[in-house]
Structure 1
Amino acid sequence: MTTQSTIPSPRSPYVRRKTTRGNFELYSWVFMRGSGVVLLVLIFGHLWTNLMVGDGVHAIDFGFVGGKWASPFWQIWDLLMLWLAMIHGTNGVRTIVNDYAQRDTTRMVLKGLLYLAFTVVVVLGTLVIFTFEPCPPDAPANLLPSFCPTI
């Protein structure tokens, strides 16, 4: 009985395995680089506005957030920061799960939990950004922040 070696000869030509994933991993890699650069701008703009302008960290309270989110510019800014950070982080954790989870079932469960967490955070964060109302119309005046108009 002859045994065949499972390791190819060092002089044999490299045979590339065909994958069915297409260029997804390439696009994922490019996205990580692009989103990282955009996130740097968004995060440092966010930090500069919140910490360096005005009274700094001492000015951040409910009224500050309410006043900031009254502007569509800051709503879009924070929405982009939320979505890009979540997609960027989810893609990074997905790569780690693919690299280190050895069993298909483990990989599937971990990625399922990851995508569920991503969905919950993005949906709730988006709802908070666009439905935040610091001055609800029927609220008692003593519970409203000082910047709300009294009627």
Structure 2
Amino acid sequence: MNSIAQVKPAGFLRRLAAIFYDALIIIAVEMIAVGIVIATMEALLSQGLVSYGSYIDASDLLNHHPIWSVLFHAYVVMVWVGFLSFFWMKGQTLGMRAWKLRIQNENGTPITFFQSLIRMATSLFGLGNITVLFDSEKRALQDMWAKCQVIQLAKVD
């Protein structure tokens, strides 16, 4: 059958399920990213190449030192932003893939890095999805601002 598939906007519950899946994955990725930093600092400490000074351990240094704290937290944010941007620019995060969702421009092309940054800045940590319940086109706040859409993919038989 040669029919053109209609684009169906993603519903609220599917979006929440994908966010939940992605949150679990991002937490794991962040744990690995932080673990690499801590392991590196401990290795440098054991070789006498760094000193924690008045700080108790690597965690204390990374969370309370005026310079290292800023650098460390910027790194953690960059991992999060990088993860979401990379997958959104490909069209799907792993959670979106599991729930058969796709993010795209209205013409079907992938979103840009700049659009991914707009989505993150306007998503309100997921609360922007509440507008899906009230918008006639089922758009989230971040979709409106980034001028893109999240669609539900057709079931493949």
Give the alignment's TM-score, normalised by structure 2: 0.31
Larger relative contact order (CA 8 Å, sep ≥ 6): 2
Give the alignment's TM-score, normalised by structure 1: 0.32
